[in-house]
């Protein structure tokens, strides 16, 4: 089992120590134990949870939904965990559908006669000189 201090966990996850502390207070993470001097020590599960949170946030899942998933994991509540994950996946599916619709509309707009004519990218300034010099 890997042991992480809050600063090492922050460094390895890409989150700040303040965010790790905040997520611990909110119940998204749990320290595996505390040292004799009171420092929190995290395990590799905490790092994986931070990776899950990061991926979820990038996918557009609100922190409150990720918090529900993490709390269900903390409490070993498989039914609530399944519901929370289903809600997150539904949100991702909605976002994908919206992006697909956006792409279709954009493609339709680009086919309209009033769409700007696309020019070929111009050669870099030095390219013309290099061609003539050869």
Q: Read off the pLDDT of residues 36-86 as tens digits, 9 standing for 90 and up.
A: 999 999 999 999 999 999 999 999 899 999 999 999 999 999 999 999 999
CA distance 64 to 56: 11
Sequence-distant (≥ 6) Cβ neighbours of residue 49 within 8 angstroms: 28, 29, 70, 73
Tokens of 12: 């390895």
What domains appear along the chain, each with residue ranges and CATH number? 6-112 (1.10.1660.10)
Tokens of 80: 């609530």
In which residue are the tokens 């089992």 written?
A: 1
- pTM given for the model: 0.72
Could you report how far apart the first and last alpha carbons of the chain are, in Å?
63
Residue 21 CA, chain-centre distance (Å), reads 19
Residue 29 CA, chain-centre distance (Å), reads 16
Q: Given a cut of 50, is residue 25 above it in pLDDT? A: yes
- β-sheet bridge partners, residue 34: 40
Q: Given a cut of 50, is residue 93 above it in pLDDT? A: yes
99-117 average pLDDT score: 88
pLDDT band per the 50, 70, 90 thresholds, residue 113: confident
Query: In whole angstroms, how far apart are CA 71 and each of 17, 25, 65, 130?
Result: 20, 12, 10, 63
In which residue are the tokens 């700040």 written?
A: 16
Query: In whole angstroms, how far apart are CA 69 and each of 52, 97, 118?
Result: 10, 23, 47
């Amino acid at each position: 089992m890997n042991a992480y201090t809050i600063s090492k966990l922050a460094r390895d996850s890409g989150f700040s120590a303040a965010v790790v502390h905040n997520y611990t207070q909110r119940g998204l993470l749990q320290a595996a134990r505390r040292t004799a001097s009171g420092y929190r020590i995290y395990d590799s599960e905490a790092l994986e949870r931070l990776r899950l949170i990061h991926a979820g946030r990038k996918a557009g899942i609100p922190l409150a939904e990720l918090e529900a998933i993490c709390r269900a994991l903390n409490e070993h509540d498989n039914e609530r965990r399944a519901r929370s994950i289903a809600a997150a996946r539904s949100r991702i599916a909605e976002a994908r559908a919206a992006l697909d619709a956006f792409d279709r509309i954009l493609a339709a707009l680009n086919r309209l006669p009033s769409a700007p004519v696309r020019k070929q990218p111009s050669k870099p300034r030095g390219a013309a000189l290099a061609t003539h010099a050869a």
